[in-house]
Amino acid sequence: MTVRVRFAPSPTGYLHIGSARTALFNYLYARHVGGKFLLRIEDTDLARSTEESTRSILDGLAWLELGHDEEIVFQSDNADKHRATAKKLLAEGKAYRDFTPKAEPSDGNVKDAIKDRARAAQGEKNMRDNPYRDLSNEESDARAAAGEPCAIRLKVAATGKTSFEDQVYGLQERDYAETEDLVLLRSDGHPLYNLAVVCDDIEMAITHVIRGQDHLTNTHKQVLIYEALGIAPPTFAHLPLIMAPNKGKLSKRKHGEVVSMTTYRDAGFLAAAFRNFLALLGWSAGEEREIYSLEELIAKFTLDGIHRSNAVFNFTENDARKWTDDKAQWMNAEYIRTMPIGELLPFVKSELKSAKLWREEYDPDGRALTSSIPSTESQIFERTTDMAERPENIALDIPEIGSHDWYVHTVALIRQRFFTLKDFSSQGRAYFSEDYDFDPAAIEKNLNKFPDLKTWLAELADRFEAEFQSSPPYEGGVDAALGGRGGSLPFNEANIETVVKAFTEEKGTKLGVIMNGARTLLTGVAVGPSMLSVFETLGQEKSILRLRSQFAWNT
RNA sequence: GACCGGUUCGUCUAGGGGUUAGGACACCGCCCUUUCACGGCGGCAACACGGGUUCAAAUCCCGUACCGGUUACCA
């Protein structure tokens, strides 16, 4: 028998972290055993279900790349079947009509009201004392025929117990006395959750139900329905819950965005990294290892690796740096830094695109377009036109600036200190645009503290122009004064180091002062890769122009 | 309240009778370095408590405490 599992969210909000983990575990299990992973939208609560929520959940699943098999089932489409099943149980005497008037919903917190009522009952409540439980068929039929509203309840036997072997928690038993005659059909004819789930799981031929352990007691009720129906229940596996940092419930309302999948997508997380993080929340392969590809997760995922204790999703409210779980952030950074560059490139591309920093020349076949570089160079020099004319020709160290190779080289260089995809368009903006921001703290620390830099860095630009070959003959520049001839050195790391070091000694200052000042001017931030590679990567022209830029000063 | 479940560093976890109780994240320190949120090395830090069983308990049993789930004509 092929394994068939399902993820069955109710569309009452976005896909949150707990549901996402449940979906992932179902997916991994199905793929591991070569079964089917189905999707069912439990939209029977008309009052709370929204299409927008369904879309959001689907978006979340799509982002996590948890593709489902077969058509999506909408539970509300099966309401007639659910009703028919309830009628069948009624006809067989396994359920009864309850003519007790529906209780008015209490105002305030429903959960609390229920809890209070249960506590008031002191556990002495007799679950079988419903006066309509043993109403004669005749009277029941007559009252129903007369149009008297009634709910349909399952007739749970007075003695005995439900039991099932949970794949995570082991044998679970519950005395019938603990379970009330649950309502199958509301008095308005609306099928309720437990009935709907059982009917649909049967209909969908679900073999394994993998869901949160908050359903443990529902499972007993559902087992009761299976028994009444004379159908063998599926195998159950309940998952530990994911808790808030205070070990309390992780709620959409209280914790908001931090639990939503779309937040992570929008914050520049890689689905692969987040999946990896999620997989390790409540499951482990029993190894001292954290990074698993999807294929490895599928290969290693088994139900007995699932834990029984709840896990805390750790984050600190009002702390920008720790807005979400440290490990999730680390995992994402780890993926960005170490995944094959070819796999990262498409993500960087779409990030740059949405930040309007993307250029077609970065594409592998974009080389043919390099002839169009002058047009983009007008952008490069946009903010500095008062300083220099656009150069006639450009000869650069490999890789050629703006080319695909340069793009790959640059991404590989700057990803080393990035945490999210967003960093490519924020911290890394200066590599792709002239229009980048300056971090005030960086300016203060690396520029303002050394007033001499204001002239030194401009001088360094002159030096670059003089020492390195092919420096463009800027109008009015040193180069022009020299007759348009630059030096003879190729603009590469080794030579840049030599030149900068010599310059530093002349000025009697420390290398760090020059380098950090240059970094701030050239990239707007105080952190990044080796400054030598930054110079080289940005290229001679940009380096010179930005060194001469006074933009960052006095900001 | 009742029923059910859980409890190893701050967090995620390994370990399931004999371990210096391991790893990861975070944190701290040192090194590398022009800076740095990269990297390298190191450090801090845990078996909830009390009884048993046993030569030996984090590990098995019982109890307590604490935490969580459920207790709807919600899902």
pLDDT score recorded for residue A230: 96
pLDDT score recorded for residue A488: 73
Nearest nucleotide from residue A44 CA, by C1' atom: B75
Q: What is the CA radius of gyration of chain A?
A: 33
Place of tokens 């703290």: A441
Structure tokens at A280: 């390790």
Scanning residues 316 through 335 of protein chain A, those with a beta carbon under 7 Å from any atom of strand B turn out to be 321, 325-327, 329-330, 334
Q: Sign of the C-alpha dihedral, residues A344, A347, A353, A356?
A: negative
pLDDT score recorded for residue A449: 86
Buried b (16+ CB within 10 A) or exposed e, A224-259: bbbbbbeeebbbbbbbbbbbbeeeeebebeebeebb
Nearest nucleotide from residue A512 CA, by C1' atom: B34
Q: Sign of the C-alpha dihedral, residues A234, A10, A266, A248?
A: negative
CA of A91 to C1' of B3 (A): 31
**Cβ of residue A254 near strand B, that is under 7 Å?**
no
**What is the helix, strand, coil percentage profile of chain A, to 5?**
50, 10, 40
Cα dihedral A137, A139, A140, A146, rounded to 10, equals 140
Cβ pair A102, A151 in contact under 8 A: yes
What's the DSSP call for residue A117? H
Scanning residues 140 through 169 of protein chain A, those with a beta carbon under 7 Å from any atom of strand B turn out to be 149-151, 169
Pairing of strands A73-74, A36-41: parallel
Nearest nucleotide from residue A246 CA, by C1' atom: B67
Complete DSSP assignment for A164-208? EEETTTEEEEEEGGGS---EEE-TTSPBPHHHHHHHHHHHTT--E
A3 CB-contact burial (10 Å; exposed 0-12 / middle 13-18 / buried 19+): middle
CA of A8 to C1' of B45 (A): 41
A456 CB-contact burial (10 Å; exposed 0-12 / middle 13-18 / buried 19+): buried
Q: Measured in Å, how far apart are chain A's first and last C-alpha atoms?
A: 70
The interface predicted TM-score of the complex, written ipTM, equals 0.95
Cβ pair A467, A487 in contact under 8 A: yes
Position A464, amino acid: F
pLDDT score recorded for residue A553: 66
pLDDT score recorded for residue A380: 26
pLDDT in tens, A382-391: 222 222 222 2
pLDDT score recorded for residue A239: 97
Instruction: Tell me which residues of A are annotated as active site.
Output: 252
**What are phi and psi for residue A184, nearest 5 degrees?**
-95, -45
pLDDT score recorded for residue A121: 74
The size of chain A, in residues, is 555
CA of A529 to C1' of B22 (A): 34
**Which residue, counting CA atoms, is nearest to the C1' of nucleotide B27?**
A326
pLDDT 10s per residue in chain A (555 long)?
Answer: 799 999 999 999 999 999 999 999 999 999 999 999 999 999 988 788 999 999 999 999 999 999 999 999 999 999 999 999 999 999 999 999 999 988 876 666 788 888 888 777 765 678 888 889 988 888 989 999 999 999 999 999 999 999 999 999 999 999 999 999 999 999 999 999 999 999 999 999 999 999 999 999 999 999 999 999 999 999 999 999 999 999 988 888 888 899 999 999 999 999 999 999 999 999 999 999 999 999 999 999 999 999 999 999 999 988 889 999 999 999 999 999 999 999 999 999 999 999 999 999 998 876 544 433 322 322 222 222 222 222 222 233 457 888 899 999 999 999 999 999 999 999 999 999 998 989 888 888 888 888 888 889 999 999 998 888 764 554 444 444 444 456 777 888 888 999 999 999 898 888 999 999 999 999 999 999 999 999 999 988 889 999 988 766 654
**Cβ of residue A33 near strand B, that is under 7 Å?**
no
pLDDT in tens, A131-156: 899 888 889 899 999 999 999 999 99
**Cβ of residue A215 near strand B, that is under 7 Å?**
yes
CA of A289 to C1' of B45 (A): 20
Cβ pair A499, A386 in contact under 8 A: no
pLDDT score recorded for residue A122: 64
